[in-house]
Structure 1
Amino acid sequence: MRVLAGRRIVIVGGAAGIGKRITEDFCRQQDIVAITDRNAEAGSELAAQLRESGGQASFYSMDVCSWEDSRTAIEQAILDMGGVDVLVYSAGITRRVPFEQLEWDEWKRTLAVNLTGLFHAAKAVAPKMIEQRSGAIVIIGSGSAITGSGGGVHYAASKGGAFGFMRTLVSELGPHGIRINTVAPRVIESEMLSRLYPNPADLERLKESIPLRRLGTVDDVSNIVQFLSSEESGYIQGQVLICDGGRTYS
């Protein structure tokens, strides 16, 4: 896979889980990585570890729910890197809550992180990408937008909104040379999956429902992100790539 070393990467939600592995993989390719996350301790520690191992990584504290916070952090990262070639939006939250028990505050918070935060991040990088007439935006979505799973209506709605958001961006930003695509993972071994399935027996039954008979890994997701941000995917635009071992349509 051909990648251009030294690309400028902004990863939102890059301090843990899937985002952390994506961050590590970009650094291994000698890209310049700006990690943004609400968890300042984890983000700063990760950036320091990556620099110690020869990577180029910096951390910027950011609350995706705040436009001012997002704009300030991402604009500073772009200024420090001298531009931005790739935005990866990996911030996301969920909790299993039945609709009848779902409270307004949880609905609002989930939509704020999973969807409004995406708007903030894309809004912050778009001017520079338009100026450069190039760029790639990769959204970490979810197969839950298709199946209605993932913890409840709050999560599925937020991820479904991201699909629609992407498709509109394609028509508006595509003419400027900007590509926008989404990875839709399901059943990936992560902290989020552990919270959704705390019972090992339930997790084992879940694994047996997957045609490949295994859970996905953060590497599985990161590999797709690397592809969608590389030259090989230069004519792929506005797509949702499901990463689920065949579960969704089996």
Structure 2
Amino acid sequence: MSEKYLIFGATGSIGSNLAEQLKSSGHDIHLVARNEEMVSTIANKLGCSFTVADVLEDNFIEKVKADVSEVKGIAYCVGSIDLKPLRMVKEEDFNKCMKLNLYSAVEIIKGYQESLKKNKGSIVLFSTVAAQRGFTNHAIIASAKAAIEGLTVSLAAEFAPNIRVNCIAPSLTNSKIAEPMLKNKVLAEGIAKAHPLKRLGEGKDSASMAKFLISEESSWITGQIIAVDGGRSKLS
């Protein structure tokens, strides 16, 4: 059995684009998502295997490992957009966001650490431009994604030279989780203009970087937080 590239959040804009890009390059992939109808449709289209699992559920990793034992790379393309002023934030908001973005990623990495080590594998995680730039009402998600950035550099040091770990920090991307914000056309246009490149991100933008980082093309890159944000983090 060949080693697979494991994509969590495979029905999202970035995850689904990454699946297409890896598959078109001849890589063996396995998709993981919670929506069975959507993930099965994508898997059937690409001719690959999949697991239906919700990373918020206890022991979800055992379900995935029952289907895939050997991996060459893991892309954790799972995220959320939790926007609230601090006065409205509850501890449970932080707990759910940290579980989704950080704790479950840690469980996945622990579950596949030995396989990744044996196969000289690669891990790609996802942060956000808001972890480094200050945006109103972003306390929950920015805190969770900043933790992902800390995890990235820590694990890159701990796992070297056997496993590479990198992180992509996108700005707002056209996706299902961004729909509540982007359905307001005036707001969407304003956010797009806030980027030096004057547009919102597309799933393929971050997916292309993820494909590079997860594959042997980036064999001398580890411990990096790479912005795919239309220049927003540095130029605006």
TM-score (norm 2): 0.92
Distance in 2 separating the partners of 1:147 and 1:29: 35
Could you tell me which of 204, 208, 212 is aligned with 1:227?
212
| Kept in 1: contact 2:85–2:136 (CA 8 A) | no
Q: Does 1:73 align with 2:59?
A: no
Conservation of the 8 A alpha-carbon contact between 1:74 and 1:125: no
Q: Deviations over 1:54-97 (max 9, x none)?
A: xxx11112221345211x13322333xxx211100011112321
Question: What is the CA distance between 1:195 and its match in structure 2?
Answer: 2.0
1:150 offset after TM fit, Å?
8.3
1:182 equivalent to 2:167? Answer yes
Q: Residue 5 of structure 2 aligns with which residue?
A: 9
1:87: which partner in 2?
74
Report the number of matched residues.
234
- Matching residue of 2:45: 49
Match of 2:92 in 1: 105
1:145 to 131, 144, 147: 131
> Take 2:44 and 2:195, find their aligned partners in 1: how far apart are those partners?
38
Measure, in 1, the Cα distance between the counterparts of 2:67 and 2:129: 31
- Please give the per-residue CA displacement for 1:78-131, whole angstroms capped at 9, x wherever unaligned: 33xxx211100011112321111122322221111011111111111112112x
TM-score by length of 1: 0.87
Identity of aligned residues (%): 26
| RMSD across aligned positions (CA) | 1.7
Looking at structure 2, the residues matched to 85 and 97 of structure 1 have their Cα atoms a distance apart, in angstroms, of: 38
Quick check: 141-150 or 210-219, which moved more? 141-150
CA deviation vs aligned residue, 1:125-179 (integer Å, no higher than 9, x gap): 112112x15000011221111114385211001100001111111121113x110
Question: What's the offset of the Cα at 1:9?
Answer: 0.6
CA distance in 2, matches of 1:146, 1:33: 32
The answer on whether the counterparts of 2:17 and 2:203 sit within 8 Å (CA) in structure 1 is yes
* Partners of 2:189 and 2:49 in 1: CA distance: 38
1:7 shift after superposition? 5.4
* Matched AA of 2:74: L
Which amino acid in 2 is paired with 1:194?
A: E
> Quick check: 1:67–1:120 contact (8 Å CA) kept in 2?
no
Q: Select 1:129's aligned residue among 111, 116, 123.
A: 116
What amino acid is the match of 2:79?
Answer: G
Displacement of 1:196 after TM fit? 3.0
C-alpha displacement of 1:198: 3.4
Amino acid of the residue matched to residue 134 of structure 1?
Answer: K
1:195 aligns with 2:180: yes
1:96 to 64, 83, 100: 83
Query: 2: CA distance between counterparts of 1:16 and 1:226?
Result: 15
Q: Supply the distance in 2 between the matched residues of 1:66 and 1:167 (Cα, whole angstroms).
A: 27
Structure 1 Cα separation of the partners of residues 67 and 146 of structure 2? 29
Q: For residues 85 and 229 of structure 1, what CA distance do their matches in structure 2 show?
A: 9
1:156-167 correspondence runs (5 A): 156-167=142-153
Structure 2: unaligned runs, 5 residues or longer = none
Deviation at 1:39, TM superposition (A): 1.5
User: After TM superposition, what 4+ stretches of structure 1 lie above 4 angstroms from structure 2?
Assistant: none
Q: Is the 8 A contact 2:75 2:214 kept in 1?
A: no
Identify the residue that residue 51 of structure 2 maps to in structure 1.
Answer: 60
Contact between 1:10 and 1:35, CA under 8 Å: does it hold in 2?
Answer: yes
- Note if contact 1:86-1:135 (Cα within 8 Å) is conserved in structure 2: yes
